[in-house]
Structure 1
Amino acid sequence: MKGVLLAGIFLLVAVFQVGAQSRLSGVGDGTGTLSGLLTTADGKPAGGVTVTLKGVNKTTLTDDDGRFSFRRLAPGNYDVEISYVGYEPIDQTVSVESGKPVRLSLQLKVSEQQLDQVTVTNGYNKFNKKETDDIARLPLKNMENPQVYSVVTKEIMKEQLITDYNSVFRSIPGAGVPIVYNQGRSALYSRGFVTENLVRNSVSGFVYTNIDPANLERLEAIKGPSGTLFNSSMISFGGLFNRVTKHPFDSWRGEIGYSGGSNDLNRLTVDINQPLNNDKTALMRVNGALHTEQSFQDAGFTRSYMIAPSFVYKANDKLSFLLDVEATSFNATSPVRFAPSTTGKIHDVRNLGIGYKRSFGNNTLDYTTRQVNIFGQINYQLSSQWKLQTLYTRTFSTTRGYVNQLIGKTDSTLSQQSQKEDFPYYGTNIQQNIVGDFFVGRLRNRLVAGVDIYNQKSEWTNTTVNMPAINFRHPGAGYNNFNSTKVDSAAARSAWVNYRTNQSTFGAYFSDVLNLTEKLNVMVSLRADRFDNKGTYYPGADSTAGSYTQNALSPKLGAVYQLVKDKVSLFGNYMNGFANVNGTDFNGGTFRPQQANQWEGGVKFDVLRHKVSATFSYYDIRVKNVARDDLAHPGYSIQDGTQLSRGFEGEVIANPFAGFNIVAGYTYNDSKYTQANKSVQGLRPATAGPASLANLWMSYRIVGGKAKGLGFGFGGNYGSASFQTNTASFAFTIPSYTVLDATVFYDQPSYRIGVKVDNLTNAQYWSYRLAPQNPTRVTANITFRF
């Protein structure tokens, strides 16, 4: 799979080079050329719009810069037609002469934001949408940014018929198989570190529950220890995942969709956008979803609903307000979690003989999670160079019910465990930024500076019940004893635990991008944090334990040199992240935060008029201040441990010809403990995931003729073997996997029909927690737009 992806990348480049030469070869052959620029009413490029020369059956599409061209045209008059659903068509006659290029400048009566909301049957590079202000918190293009990141667009999500949040990550290089925790929340991999989903719209989105993708505009995977601009509690040393939600725009639009499929899937989604007044200064958008689905195993289900209203109010040309709300409820059973016996002789999940479709659970052992996410934003344009941005988030999430796991006792027996809990979380984040784009002399500066206040509280009430061991190969009647009646009876006789936590972070930061020349820019950033953990309060004993404070500085440096302006960039960065460490050493001293320092270098491409976008980089992350056992003082720790994580990442997004789109990625990660306890010294952490990961998605959509809008997609994911446990005394292996998917769809301006088959070969593969993943699954969708 790796070789196929790399060979495909080089083949694509060769094809583009040959194609570019052939397109230019028509000069001087008695023909003419016609080219043009299409913009929106607000002066922005209109990408992906169909341009037709009537009567000669020639059609093309504008690229991301709004440009289009026709070559080798015989001299004569041509009718140029530009049509876009819901807007006034453009029809203009032009005269083409031999050897004299004709250039047009045309404008659609539609804003950029409206244009982005309409799904059309076109063939431009629709997966290449990397221009976002979220990554650097500045108006910085990908080719100017020294950081590596990936963006999963809504176009990919629609084409892949995404019905659950974790499936979005298939198109992110290095993400791997999702790790789903007991409350339904999830994490994935980034550069050898487990990375949770805790960031929403670039600030705290801390919820310990499932996430529904119905209001997801795009998903941004920001790579590397990004502690400078993001709260350390929200990220890992490998990076972060930022989910960007849908916001209102200034025209009426609606969409309703239904998906049905394997495992009794029934999913209804709605997306309604509506201006609230005639001058379109008050806007509202509402997204919602109803979802029910059974597990492919003998027990297990998910039943959920979500409502997500969003409001925008434009007080004047300088001041605007945004209020964004998510409210969800999930009723589900715990995902399978299996910890094998570390004293057995079996070291591979395939050799256990445990039934792939056995859940070892019961539908009465379910839980209910609820969340309310409130996001507010105020933007005030101080001048043409400066603006103020105020961000506010308030999150609440809670889990109530049973969360379960399976604990291996021997190579053939396991014990079922259930934790009955009531577990609410509360989070508050306030952030104030000032953003500037100004010149000092002839040097351009783009600056963001801000302060960040974050608080998180939780309350936990729970008890744990362990059932008698059963033979998991031949469980017999004991298989059905794991149910709510049995667990409730045992829980009534068990000890309950109740405690509360309260912790805060106070941060200040700045980041400045300085253009030394037109092609060379440097980035200098720094963050200072004060972490205050109030400790864990136990109401029964009226006591608090584990309180501490820590301070941390997190710098970031970067440089970009554009070998070819806006097309080829060399970049390098130094980035830092940190994680707070609780506890004390033998002498009573508190620990310092763990620090991760990354050096990275690479190259970015955006060539052939945005038809090929690619990033290749090598990184080296070294973690210090890791706490490990103090052998001289049993029961205590010392803080001198180190860890190394380094590797290669590559991503290619290509549009070889109209209608054909490709996104491909490959990552290799070498991770190990360089100074640690003897049990793991020199070994790869089990939490680092597979060393090699690859992803590929190819799609073709017919862009002209009677079959216009018909499309096909094919792709898959590969992961090398990894570990559930990896110590000197015991290692347990998760095998490599290759999963292939395919889709067929018919996309029209007013409706879309699609069918997707996931896991075509019915491959068996597992997550880090040894949860079996879905076998072959079929999903059908119909969506109406109005």
Structure 2
Amino acid sequence: MHFTATSPSTFVKFPLVLLKVFNCIKLACLFALLITSYRVSAQVASNGSVKGTVKTADGKAAEYVNVTITEASQGAVTTQSGHYVIKNIKPGNYTLVASFIGLQTQTRQVVVTAGGTTTVNFVLSEGGKQLQEVYIQSAKHNKFLKKETEDVARLPLKNLENPQVYSVVTSELMKEQVVTSYVDGFKNIPGTGVPLVYNNGRTTLLSRGFVTGNFIRNSVAGYNFNSIDPADIEKIEAIKGPTGTLFNSSLASFGGLFNRVTKQPFETARTEITYQTGSFDLNRLTADVNLPLNADKTVLFRINTALHNEHSFQDAGFNRSFFVAPSLTYIVNDRLSVDLNLEIGNSNATSAYRLAPDTKGKIFNVKDLGIDYKRSFANNSVDYLSRQIDVYGLIKYKISDNWKSQTMFNKTYSSTKGFVTLLTLVDSVKKIKQQATKEDYPYYITNVQQNFIGDFKIGQFRNRIVAGVEYYNQKSNNANVTVTMPAISYLDPGAAYNNFTADKLSALVAAATPKTSDYVQNNQSSYAAYLSDVFNITDRLNAMASIRIDRFDNKGAYTPADGKTTGNFKQTAWSPKFGMVYELVKGQISLFGNYMNGFNNVSATSFDNTPFKPQYANQWEGGVKVDAWDHKISSTVSYYDISVTNTTMDDPAHAGFSTQAGTQLSKGIEAELIANPFKGFNIVAGFAYNDSKITNAAAGTGLQGLRPANAGPARLANLWMSYRIVSGGLQGLGAGVGGNYGSQSYQTNTQTFKFVIPSYTTIDATVFYDKPKYRIGFKLDNLTNEKYWSFRLAPQNPTRGTLSLSIKF
């Protein structure tokens, strides 16, 4: 294994960062110790107790079931043997409730006598096997663990059986961290870095050193050109490595993809309304309403909605949005079910901060610019409107005991209309240029998939197979005009600072000379077929083999002004995948290795208009997965090596064109830990080291042997620890602390010019009180008021407080 050398300053800073993290761990453990040491010193003799057992329909003990007394707000959680005890209850008549997420709630009436112990036993209607499935899905014992998913392999494959690496962020974790922005959930995924926000609210993050978008929803295209509201998110799945075999390459990077899984209806009526307020004039109201629509519970309905209003910490900038997502499930019979989900969003916002350095200047670090951190160099009248409509459908049909059909479709409309902005430095004279593009940019996406999933034996060998076909189409109509204001001083702008208004920009747009490229239409499609088989050689050893063929048809960019089409081409690409998994300890520890391939169809323009070949990425990876101690410890550690061929880069001989002459290498280590070492205490931690470099650059580009600037920090770490009291009078009270670290990175990295983004360490903390009927939480982000920047040199939020109040019924 070979890694590039690191500067001495990095080695000096990194131990300091580790010291900060260890201090956080010590403080959190001390806090947990103080809380866990809380006990009622003596029980009042005149009070009574309730005890009993909870079992499943087949007589097995039911662990982690909540048993609560409604009137007294007291309760307990059943042990591994199914027992529970609730002490120090005042005499009287009470309602005892046994509940577990996803199961039917049961109630009993109980009389508590002075000094007495009343025994109440429950028998759940579910069997032990069914309850175990619910345990795995809800991970009540390790509440932030939801690794079991059918999305990664397109098959019901357990994490320990899957040779691919992936991370899952649950809605429970996002709720504990008081997440009000979708990208804040990515703080818990190793190697994602600081979110990159584009001018229309669209976001990307990092995966193994590659910029990776948020274009997949429920495993199909959910191409959202605007911001994504977290109100409808059940979990975020980060699937690592080139994934061209089972997912559309247009929606993934060579580092992986992010799949957002939305909330689905279930059989129990439930409503949760949440109001959140805090720094920067945050006002956010959300509602989650779930209702079965008939007595048989074959028609289920759920709706999630959000009303969001927030200003920037800078002198200008805002986001006002409305979002609603209704979902319907119709269980036709025991073989056929239909899911329909709709997302509708409307937003009025200012463009994200974006700053380009002066590549001919003498300043090489964003900290040395001297720009006021809270100045936006913008104006609230320079805004845009965005709209989003996503229609998703899933039809599941059980063909036989061994085969089922899965039909998925998605239709997306996503648009931006208004002004988006760009700031450019001229640091030789300490000035900044304000640029704005007035655009009307709608996207139209159609994605249809048909999968056949089988689970059968050939002789004594088990085969789990998915065979599918996919159609994807993306159209866009881009109308835009770009204008630039006179440069102003960025140290002392004076009255000229207020000239950047919509009225002045509109006047410049009206006076601009029309160009052919002011209106462009794009249309591209892909047709794919794929096959994947997981073959069990023994009960501990399995192999995965997958293949995909993709036909890409880019109809090019059409400019109606001159009737010309440029960049049109057709390409066919194959993508194989192989993997092996050996369970060293059955159901607890597995060793895995994989070879994965991905490709991207290249739409860039060469000087002689010659179509580019597809880019290919080949990954070799090996590691270990652990799911031990009754799911209390879940961890993945792996080493990967990704080589990319046919890399494109700017053509040094022809400005505005690209050349395809490069190769790129990305290798590194990733580690993740999700742990519940003792009741109430949870840990989510990750570390990622990525060594990326251009290994074969075109002459004159100045990139040979250098790390690509958009690969982000070489080292990234994340940590979250929380504790909640699980029994007694203060059950539901808890706190959490954690943070994120990123090493130094570059906005520009060439032989002739480098622009540095400094390393950063942020620390967050929360306290909460979570009860069956309500929840109160308070979160402080960036406790140390760290100044740090994204790849686009956008200043990130200073210390921020958020108060969250929820009512559940």
What secondary structure is seen at the aligned counterpart in 2 of 1:681?
coil
Contact 1:533 1:548 in 2 (8 A): yes
Partners of 1:269 and 1:466 lie apart in 2 by 39
Partners of 1:364 and 1:43 lie apart in 2 by 66
Contact 2:75 2:731 in 1 (8 A): no
Find the counterpart in structure 2 of residue 49 from structure 1: 65
TM-superposed CA distance for 1:281, in Å, is: 1.0
Q: Which moved further from structure 2: 614-623 or 278-287?
A: 278-287
Q: Deviations over 1:628-679 (max 9, x none)?
A: 5677899876534100000000001111110000000000000000001341
Find the counterpart in structure 1 of residue 46 from structure 2: none
What secondary structure is seen at the aligned counterpart in 1 of 2:106?
coil
Mapping of 1:619-638 within 5 angstroms?
A: 619-628=640-649, 638=659
Q: Deviations over 1:604-634 (max 9, x none)?
A: 1111111100000000000001135677899
Q: Deviations over 1:190-231 (max 9, x none)?
A: 000000000000010001001101010000000001010000
Find the counterpart in structure 1 of residue 232 from structure 2: 215
TM-superposed CA distance for 1:749, in Å, is: 0.5
Find the counterpart in structure 2 of residue 437 from structure 1: 455
Partners of 1:348 and 1:562 lie apart in 2 by 48
Partners of 1:634 and 1:349 lie apart in 2 by 26
Find the counterpart in structure 1 of residue 251 from structure 2: 234
Partners of 1:561 and 1:430 lie apart in 2 by 35
Partners of 2:694 and 2:365 lie apart in 1 by 23
Find the counterpart in structure 2 of residue 124 from structure 1: 141
Q: Is 1:710 the equivalent of 2:736?
A: no
Mapping of 1:270-669 within 5 angstroms?
A: 270-411=287-428, 412-496=430-514, 497-582=518-603, 589-628=610-649, 638-669=659-690
TM-superposed CA distance for 1:485, in Å, is: 1.0
Contact 1:256 1:784 in 2 (8 A): yes
Contact 2:63 2:82 in 1 (8 A): no
TM-score (norm 2): 0.86
What secondary structure is seen at the aligned counterpart in 2 of 1:177?
coil
Partners of 2:59 and 2:401 lie apart in 1 by 17
Partners of 1:725 and 1:600 lie apart in 2 by 29
What secondary structure is seen at the aligned counterpart in 1 of 2:748?
strand
Find the counterpart in structure 2 of residue 97 from structure 1: none
1:726 to 749, 770, 774: 749
Could you say if the C-alpha distance between residues 608 and 38 of structure 1 is closer, same or farther in structure 2, counting changes exceeding 3 Å? farther
Partners of 1:350 and 1:754 lie apart in 2 by 34
Q: Deviations over 1:712-753 (max 9, x none)?
A: 010010000100110111000000000000000000001100
Q: Deviations over 1:455-477 (max 9, x none)?
A: 00000111011000111011111
Contact 1:60 1:658 in 2 (8 A): no
Contact 1:50 1:62 in 2 (8 A): no
Contact 2:137 2:148 in 1 (8 A): no
Find the counterpart in structure 1 of residue 263 from structure 2: 246
Find the counterpart in structure 1 of residue 186 from structure 2: 169
The amino acid of 2:636's aligned partner reads T
TM-superposed CA distance for 1:596, in Å, is: 0.4
Partners of 1:560 and 1:322 lie apart in 2 by 33
Could you say if the C-alpha distance between residues 142 and 115 of structure 1 is closer, same or farther in structure 2, counting changes exceeding 3 Å? closer
Contact 2:684 2:720 in 1 (8 A): yes
Partners of 1:476 and 1:296 lie apart in 2 by 21
Partners of 1:609 and 1:481 lie apart in 2 by 63
Partners of 1:781 and 1:8 lie apart in 2 by 24
Partners of 1:308 and 1:108 lie apart in 2 by 32
Partners of 2:802 and 2:629 lie apart in 1 by 36
Over aligned residue pairs, what C-alpha RMSD do you find?
3.0
Contact 2:183 2:195 in 1 (8 A): yes
Partners of 1:680 and 1:43 lie apart in 2 by 67
Contact 1:434 1:449 in 2 (8 A): yes
Could you say if the C-alpha distance between residues 587 and 358 of structure 1 is closer, same or farther in structure 2, counting changes exceeding 3 Å? closer
The amino acid of 1:761's aligned partner reads T
TM-superposed CA distance for 1:62, in Å, is: 5.5
Contact 2:141 2:631 in 1 (8 A): no
Partners of 2:711 and 2:109 lie apart in 1 by 57
Partners of 2:242 and 2:248 lie apart in 1 by 11
- Name the count of aligned residue pairs: 735
The amino acid of 1:229's aligned partner reads L
Q: Deviations over 1:327-351 (max 9, x none)?
A: 0001000111000111111100001
TM-score (norm 1): 0.89
2:173 to 156, 167, 192: 156
Partners of 1:321 and 1:252 lie apart in 2 by 20
The amino acid of 1:558's aligned partner reads G
Partners of 1:360 and 1:630 lie apart in 2 by 32
Q: Deviations over 1:230-274 (max 9, x none)?
A: 000000000000000001111211111100001110000001111
1:773 to 785, 792, 796: 796
What secondary structure is seen at the aligned counterpart in 1 of 2:185?
helix
What secondary structure is seen at the aligned counterpart in 1 of 2:163?
coil
TM-superposed CA distance for 1:582, in Å, is: 3.0
Partners of 1:782 and 1:636 lie apart in 2 by 53
Q: Which sections of structure 2, spanning at least 5 residues, go unmatched?
A: 1-16, 29-50, 69-73, 85-95, 111-120
The amino acid of 1:534's aligned partner reads K
Partners of 2:582 and 2:19 lie apart in 1 by 30
Partners of 2:796 and 2:393 lie apart in 1 by 37
What secondary structure is seen at the aligned counterpart in 2 of 1:768?
coil
Could you say if the C-alpha distance between residues 342 and 558 of structure 1 is closer, same or farther in structure 2, counting changes exceeding 3 Å? same
Partners of 1:623 and 1:735 lie apart in 2 by 28
1:742 to 753, 762, 765: 765
Percent of aligned pairs sharing the same letter = 57
Q: Is 1:183 the equivalent of 2:206?
A: no
TM-superposed CA distance for 1:565, in Å, is: 0.5
Could you say if the C-alpha distance between residues 129 and 118 of structure 1 is closer, same or farther in structure 2, counting changes exceeding 3 Å? closer
The amino acid of 1:137's aligned partner reads R
Partners of 1:705 and 1:50 lie apart in 2 by 12
TM-superposed CA distance for 1:581, in Å, is: 1.4
Contact 1:61 1:658 in 2 (8 A): no
The amino acid of 2:362's aligned partner reads K
Q: Is 1:760 the equivalent of 2:776?
A: no
TM-superposed CA distance for 1:125, in Å, is: 1.0
TM-superposed CA distance for 1:90, in Å, is: 8.2
Q: Deviations over 1:276-311 (max 9, x none)?
A: 111111111110000000110000100000010001
Partners of 2:367 and 2:609 lie apart in 1 by 46
Partners of 1:593 and 1:171 lie apart in 2 by 33
Contact 1:679 1:729 in 2 (8 A): yes
What secondary structure is seen at the aligned counterpart in 2 of 1:570?
strand
Q: Deviations over 1:4-32 (max 9, x none)?
A: 7699999x9xxxxxxxxxxxxxxxxxxxx
Find the counterpart in structure 2 of residue 25 from structure 1: none
2:98 to 83, 88, 105: 83
